Amino acid sequence: MIIDCHGHYTTAPAELQVFRDEQIAALKVPGHVPAKRPLAISDDQLRASVQPQLKFQTDRGTDLTIFSPRASAMAHHIGDAVVSTHWSEHCNDLIYRVCDLFPRNFVGVCQLPQSPGVPIAQSIAELERCVTQLGFIGCNLNPDPSGGHWTAPPLTDRAWYPFYEKMVELDVPAMVHVSASCNPNFHATGAHYINADTTAFMQFMTADLFKDFPTLRMIIPHGGGAVPYHWGRYRGLAQDMKRPPLTDLIRHNVFFDTCVYHQAGIDLLLKIVPADNILFGSEMVGAVRGIDPETGHYYDDTKRYVDASALGAAERRKVFEDNVRKVYPRINDRLKAAESALGA
Amino acid sequence: MIIDCHGHYTTAPAELQVFRDEQIAALKVPGHVPAKRPLAISDDQLRASVQPQLKFQTDRGTDLTIFSPRASAMAHHIGDAVVSTHWSEHCNDLIYRVCDLFPRNFVGVCQLPQSPGVPIAQSIAELERCVTQLGFIGCNLNPDPSGGHWTAPPLTDRAWYPFYEKMVELDVPAMVHVSASCNPNFHATGAHYINADTTAFMQFMTADLFKDFPTLRMIIPHGGGAVPYHWGRYRGLAQDMKRPPLTDLIRHNVFFDTCVYHQAGIDLLLKIVPADNILFGSEMVGAVRGIDPETGHYYDDTKRYVDASALGAAERRKVFEDNVRKVYPRINDRLKAAESALGA
C-alpha cells in the first residue's frame, strides 16, 4: 500500500470560496458580528471536485491520501478567532465528507482555528471534534498564524504545551505547516513554506520539547525545508551546542515528507535522513502543477523519484506505508473500517 | 589559485567588542548622543588575531579569503543609523588593516550602516568609502535590517535601487547576508541565515530586477539556502508563473557559494546548479566550528568536498577562481597590486 501523507483539498467547489469571500468582505463592515451559514455543496459536487486527485492516484500508483484543507487558504491572519473557527469548521467538514465518500482514497487531517495572539488552547476543541467525531488522524499546526510576521512564540515554548497534551492524549501527530504570507518578503509556496520547515527543525533541535513529550510526533513537510541539504551544518551546530546527534534528536518525534520535486533532491533526502523518519508525500494537487519538460512527468509525482532512488525494498516499504501507520496510528482503524464497510 | 569568497572576521581583538558593548550600554542612557572613539588595536594584535584563518588557508590549501566583518555582529537592529554607522566604520577599518597587513591572504568586503526604516541610500557613502578609499571589492547587503522581523521591502523593490545604481557604477557585487536574529523563532545561523537565502532567491525569481540592472550581481551564501535541494520546486514555480527558466534567470546575476557542510549537499549543488553560478566559499571561521566525527575533518573545510566531487577540471577552476574574478572584478587589480608590492 502506498500512502501519500501530504494532500490538500485545493480543488474544493467554488461555494467554499464564496463563503470565505463573504467572511472577508464582512470584516470591512464596522460592528459586523462574524456569522456562519451552511454551505450549499452537494455530494455530487464533492465527488466531481476530487476527480483530479483520484486520477492522479490511479495514474501514479498511489492508494491513499492523507487529506487536509488547502494550506495556503487557512490564512489564520485574516479576521479573529471566531472568523478562523467558522472557516476551519467548514473546511474540515468538507474534508470529512470527501473522506466519507471515498474512504479507501482519503483520510482526514484537520485545519485548526488558530488566530494571531490567541492561545492555542482555543484550537483544542476543533482538534477533538475532528478526531473523535469526524475520524481524522492528525492536524496541520501553523507555527506562524500571523502569516509571515512570526509573532508567535517558538513551537518549543510552553505556550503550545496545552495543545501538545491533547495531541498526545488523542495519539495524533501534527504536520507543521504555515499558510499564506501577508509579508511581501515571503512568497508563500516558494519561501514562507520552506523557511517555516527549516525554522521548526531548528527550534526542535535547540530545545527539549521531546523530553517533555516523548510520544509527540511532528511532520516537517516539503522534504524538511533546507535541512537535509544542510545536514552537515545541522550536525555541526548540534555538536557545537552540545546537543544530541541529529538522528537521536529526531528518532521518535520528527519526520520529513518527500515533497521534493526532482530526483537529485529526493536522492539526497533518502541518502541522508534515516528511512524511519521519512514519509511518502507529494503535496498533490498543490504548490507546483506543471509537467517537467526534462522528464515529461509532473514535478509533484514524487513516487517516481522514490521508485528511481537507491532505496532498498524494506526501507521503501517504510517510506511508502509503515512509517505513516506508525506516525498516524489512527489510520489503521480507519482503513479497517473502510475495508469492512466496502467489503474488502 | 583558490579563492574563498566567504570569510568573516570572527576573531577580531576583544577591544572591538568593548566598543560595541559601550555603544549598546549608551543606548540605555536617556538623551545620550552616540559617539565614536578610536579603537586601541595594534597591528600586532591584528596579526595575531587572524592566525587561525592563515593556518586554515595553509592546512586546507586555499590562497585568498574575501574577508568581511562578522555577519552576526552587524546587528543592524541595534540602535539607530548613527550607531550603525560608527560600528560599520570601525568594523570595516579593521578589515582594511588586516587586508593591508596580509594583501595576499585577504581582500575586503564591507558591512553597511543599514538601520531599520532608514533609506538604503544612507549606506552609499560607506560603500563608496570602502571601495574607492579602502580597496574593497564588494559588500554584504542585509535584506532584513530588523533582525528577523522582516519589515523592509523585498530586495526587488525600488526602494533599494539607489544602492544598486552605486553598486553598478562601482562594479561591485553584494552578498545577501542577514545578521543576528532578535526574533526568538529564528536561530541565527541555523534558521535565519538559511531562510534569508531562500527568501532572496524567490524575490529575485519573481521580479525583473535584473532587467533593470543587467550587470547587478548578487551572491546568495550558504549554498543558496534551500534552493538547490528544491531546484525542481523552483523550476516548477517559475514555469507555473510564466517566468524564464531558472538558469536564464540567474545566469549573469545570481551566484551561490559552497558553504554546505557535507559531501552529499555539495554533490547536489554542483550537479544541479550551473558551474558558472557557483563560487567557492567556506564561511571559515564561522557558523560551525567543530570537526565532523564521521570524516575527522572540519565541517567547514568545504574544499575537501569540492575536491571529492565529480566536477570536471574546467568547471572546478571556475568554482575555485574564475567565477570570483568575474563576480568581483575589482579583485584582479587588488591581486596585481599585492604581487607588485610584495614582489611576485
**ipTM, 2 dp:** 0.97
Residue A109 confidence (pLDDT): 98
Q: Give A97→chain B minimum CA distance, Å.
A: 30
Residue B21 has a pLDDT of 97
Partners of A232 on chain B (C-beta within 8 Å) are: 260-262, 265, 288, 292, 299
pLDDT band at B342 (very low <50, low <70, confident <90, very high): confident
Banded model confidence at residue A339, pLDDT cuts 50, 70, 90: confident
Interchain proximity A185–B144, CB inside 8 Å: yes
Tell if the CB–CB gap between B191 and A199 is shorter than 8 Å: yes
Chain-chain contact of B203 with A225 (C-beta, under 8 angstroms): no
| Residue in chain A lying closest to B186 (CA) | A199
Residue with the three cell numbers 586555499:
B62
Taking an 8 Å cut-off on Cβ atoms, the answer to whether A229 and B268 are in contact is yes
| Distance, CA of B284 to CA of B300 (rounded, Å) | 7
Check A198 against B195: CB less than 8 A apart. yes
**In A, which residues are within 8 Å of B289 by CB distance?**
236, 240
State mean pLDDT over A117-146.
Answer: 98
Contact B298, B338 (CB under 8 A): no
DSSP secondary structure letters along B261-306: -SHHHHHHHHHHS-GGGEE-----SSS--SEETTTTEETT-HHHHH
Task: Identify from B156, B185, B240, B300 which residue to disrupt to test chain A contact, counting A C-beta atoms within 10 A and taking the largest count.
Answer: B185
Cβ of A233 and B290 within 8 Å? no
* 8 Å CB contact of B148 and A144: no
pLDDT for the residue A76: 98
Q: Say if CB A193 and CB A150 are below 8 A apart.
A: no
Compare all CA atoms of chain A with the CA of B153 and give the residue at the minimum distance: A185
Instruction: For B162-217, write each residue's pLDDT tens digit.
Output: 999 999 999 999 999 999 999 999 999 999 999 999 999 999 999 999 999 999 99
Cα nearest neighbour of B291 on chain A:
A236
- Please state, for a pLDDT cut of 90, what percent of chain A lies above it: 96
Task: Please tell me the distance in Å from A175's CA to the nearest CA on chain B.
Answer: 17
pLDDT per position as a tens digit, B223-259: 999 999 999 999 999 999 999 999 999 999 999 999 9
The stretch B147-157 carries a mean pLDDT of: 98
CB-based contacts of A14, cutoff 8 Å, min separation 6? none
> What is the reported pLDDT for B286?
84
Q: What is the model's pLDDT at position B10?
A: 97
Grid cell, residue A111, equals: 485545519
pLDDT tens digits, B13-52: 999 999 999 999 999 999 999 999 999 999 999 999 999 9
**Residues contacting A330, CB < 8 A, separation 6+:** A131, A135, A136, A137, A138, A171, A172
Residue with the three cell numbers 577580531 = B12
Determine the pLDDT at residue B338.
Answer: 87
Give the model confidence (pLDDT) of A310-328 as tens digits.
999 999 999 999 999 999 9
- Chain A residues with CB under 8 Å of B264 CB are 231, 268, 271-272
* A66: Cβ contacts below 8 Å, ≥ 6 apart: A3, A4, A5, A6, A7, A106, A107, A108, A109, A137, A138, A324, A328, A331
Catalytic residue among A126, A165, A169, A283: A283
Using pLDDT thresholds of 50, 70 and 90, give the confidence band for residue B116.
very high
Angle at the Cα of A210 (from A204 to A213), degrees rounded to 5? 135
Give residue A344's pLDDT: 53
- Cβ <8 Å between A288 and B236: yes
Alpha-carbon distance B43 to nearest alpha carbon in chain A (angstroms): 31
Chain B residue at shortest CA distance from A238: B288
Confidence of residue B341 (pLDDT cuts 50, 70, 90): confident
Using only the alpha carbons of chain B, give its radius of gyration. 19
Q: Which of A222, A233, A289 faces B261 most closely, judged by CB atoms?
A: A233
From chain B, pick out residues whose CB is under 8 angstroms from the CB of A189: 233, 237
User: How far is B285 from chain A, CA to nearest CA, in Å?
Assistant: 13
Nearest CA distance, B146 vs chain A (angstrom): 12
pLDDT at A338: 87
Q: How far is the C-alpha of B273 from the C-alpha of B268, rounded, in Å?
A: 8
Question: Which chain A residue has the Cα nearest residue B196?
Answer: A195
Q: Which residues contact A39 (CB under 8 A, 6 or more apart)?
A: A15, A16, A19, A90, A93, A94
Q: Which of B265, B195, B189 is nearest to A273 (CA)?
A: B265
Sign of CA dihedral A88, A90, A91, A97: positive
- Identify which of A8, A103, A98 has the alpha carbon closest to the alpha carbon of residue A63: A103
CA distance B116 to chain A (A): 15
CB atoms within 10 A of CB B184: 14
Write the DSSP assignment of B207-247 as a string of letters: S-HHHH-TT--EEE-GGGTTTTTTHHHHHHHHHHTTPPPHH
- Is residue A178 reached through a cis peptide bond, with omega within 30 degrees of 0 on the bond before it? no
H/E run at residue B326: helix B323-327
Please list every residue in chain B whose beta carbon sits closer than 8 Å to the beta carbon of residue A148: 150
B contacts of A237 (beta carbons < 8 Å): 187, 189-190, 287-288
Pairs across A and B, CB distance < 8 A: 201
The interaxial angle of helices A231-240 and B263-272, nearest 10 deg, is 150
Q: For the beta carbon of residue A248, count every other beta carbon within 10 angstroms.
A: 10
Predicted pLDDT of residue A315? 98
Is residue B315 predicted with pLDDT exceeding 70?
yes
Give A342→chain B minimum CA distance, Å. 38
CB atoms under 10 Å from CB of A57, counted, come to: 23
Mean pLDDT of chain B: 97
Q: Which residues on A lie below 8 Å from B290 (Cβ)? A: 236, 239-240
Give the pLDDT confidence score for residue A132 in this predicted structure. 98
Indicate if the pLDDT at residue B298 is higher than 70. yes
Report the DSSP pairing between strands B297-298 and B291-292. antiparallel
Interchain pair A236, B206: CB under 8 A: no
Predicted pLDDT of residue A342: 77
First-to-last alpha carbon distance for chain A, in angstroms, is: 14
Cβ of A226 within 8 Å of Cβ of B231? The answer is no
Cβ <8 Å between A185 and B194: no
DSSP conformational letter for A37: -
Mutation target for A interface from B195, B199, B243, B284: give the one with most A CBs within 10 A.
B195
**Cell numbers at B20, concatenated:** 560595541
Which pLDDT value is given to residue B344?
Answer: 53
Among the partner residues A150, A265, A272, nearest to B232 by beta-carbon distance: A265
Distance CA B135, CA B331 (A): 9
Q: Does residue A217 register a pLDDT over 70? A: yes
Total residue length of chain B: 344
Question: Which whole number is the average pLDDT over B144-149?
Answer: 98
3-state SS assignment for residue A206: helix
Contact between A199 and B185 using a beta-carbon 8 Å cutoff: yes
Whole-angstrom Cα distance, residue B32 to residue A342? 77
* Cross-chain residue pair B150–A153, CB shorter than 8 Å: no
Percentage of chain B modeled with pLDDT above 70: 100
For A102-121, what is the mean pLDDT? 98
Tens of pLDDT, residues A59-101: 999 999 999 999 999 999 999 999 999 999 999 999 999 999 9
